[in-house]
Structure 1
Amino acid sequence: MRRFALLLGGPLLVTEALRERLRGLRLLAADSGGRHALALRLPLELWLGDFDSSPPWLQQILPAPKEVLTRDKDLTDGEALVRKALELGAEEVLLLGGIGGRLDHTLAHLELAFLLAEKGVRVELTDGLTRAFPLLAGLHAFPLEKGTAFSLLPFPEATLAVEGARWNLPPTSLKATTLTLENQALGPIRVRVERGRAVLYLLQT
């Protein structure tokens, strides 16, 4: 099984729908992301990190195999966890706690998501309430329900087109824009990235 959920340190709204979605996925956590395993009431296959942001009480009560990293390293615990998932042959990755909270961590997690996508891994980020998908060049289809709110962000610039939305978009070169914020799906949408990279952000799960 090569479907993974990686628990990162950002905020996560735990719902029964999320718990149900995680059935069949292998759970790994990076440092403080381990706290989400308690809320999810699901077992961890691996808990990895330097544990500088996991309090002693959490380390005492969370039963999980640990891989301790040195604090003197040039990558985050989250990036180390992504590399571990790749080593384990990940084909699909859900980054839980990957967006929201600290802006610097959110941006770093988005870059990690693109790294995974470039290696052919299906990847999604969520805080349990909203969802984000890294989009590389090509055509991307999303089976959204009518009325689903979404934003499409060049990251940092891209030529994008959208069909199936309240406000469709012909191929347009974009960067640092609000033009593609808060659109609405009329049903399934299609996003074409002709150049560059983009992020699809769903404003509801």
Structure 2
Amino acid sequence: MKRFALLLGGPLLATEALKERLKGYRLLAADSGGRHALALGLVPELWLGDFDSSPPWLQEALPAPKEVLPREKDLTDGEALLRKALEMGAEEVLLLGALGGRLDHTLAHLALAFALAEQGLRVVLSDGLAWAYPLLPGTHTFPLASKTPFSLLPHLEATLEVEGARWNLPLTPLRATTLTLENEALGPIRVEVASGRALLYVFGA
């Protein structure tokens, strides 16, 4: 499987655990996402963007091959980088720096993630601490450690079932609810999406 990690411009906690997780992934960066590469001590194989968010010191400090885009365009540097990863044959994508920061960008990243999942790609979004998994209809299992906190959100509505949690959920239609926030895994969990779409949000895993 061709696995890519994309460094985007949102907040990212550059931990040793994240650095370890990136082994086996091809690393690409979008504009100011290059600062995360420095924090991780890694050099992306491609650094793409219009570089309006990357100060001169960052461009001097990061020795990565650049692809410069025009400032006036119909997509963000992050989406352009995602398209580049797909052209390179990506089958699994980690969108790092995709959560938090600007809400408009976070919502756009989630929409892109669901669109990719519908194309058959495995997609995960993270800020280095929390991990978000877009879920389509079907059965999904996650090997979570005991006491791992998580939330499960309908997006925007879904019929969901959860097993293996402190608060299991029988098959239930949900929309616009906080019922499935702040749960806790007892170990591996199983999520059934009978209809609609959902987002699994795991903290610290």
TM range (shorter): over 0.9
The 1-side partners of 2:24 and 2:150 are apart by 28
Report the count of equivalent residues. Answer: 205
Contact 1:3 1:93 in 2 (8 A): yes
Moved over 2 A (4+): none
Q: CA–CA distance in 1 between the matches of 2:56 and 2:123? A: 32
The alpha-carbon deviation at position 119 of structure 1 amounts to: 1.7
Structure 1 residue identity aligned to 2:189:
I
Q: Does 1:196 align with 2:193?
A: no
**What amino acid does structure 2 have at the position aligned with 1:13?**
L
The amino acid that maps onto 1:100 is G
Q: Supply the distance in 1 between the matched residues of 2:190 and 2:36 (Cα, whole angstroms).
A: 33
Gaps of 5+ in 1: none
SS of the residue 1:105 aligns to: helix
Residue 157, structure 1, aligned to residue 144, structure 2 = no
Alignment check: 8 A CA contact 2:43 2:62 kept: no
Equivalent residue number for residue 88 of structure 1: 88
Comparing 63-72 with 2-11, which one deviates more in the overlay? Answer: 63-72
Using the alignment, how far apart are the partners of 1:125 and 1:180 within structure 2?
A: 19
Stretches of structure 2 lacking an aligned partner (at least 5 in a row): none
CA distance in 2, matches of 1:194, 1:13: 34
Letter in 2 for 1:190: R
State the alpha-carbon separation in 2 of the partners of residues 117 and 103 from structure 1.
Answer: 21
Q: CA deviation at 1:79?
A: 0.8
| Structure 2 length-normalised TM | 0.97
> 1:127 aligns to what?
127
* Shift of residue 121, structure 1, vs aligned partner: 1.3
Secondary structure at the counterpart of residue 155 of structure 2:
strand
2:177 maps to: 177
Structure 1 residue matching 2:196: 3-state secondary structure: strand
Aligned-partner Cα distance in 1 for 2:157–2:135: 12
RMSD over aligned CA atoms reads 1.1
Query: How far apart are residue 120 of structure 1 and its match?
Result: 1.3
Contact 1:160 1:174 in 2 (8 A): yes
CA contact (8 A) 1:82 1:112 kept: no
C-alpha deviation, 1:172, in angstroms: 1.2
Q: 2:150 is aligned with what amino acid?
A: F
**Alignment partner of 1:112 is 2:99:** no
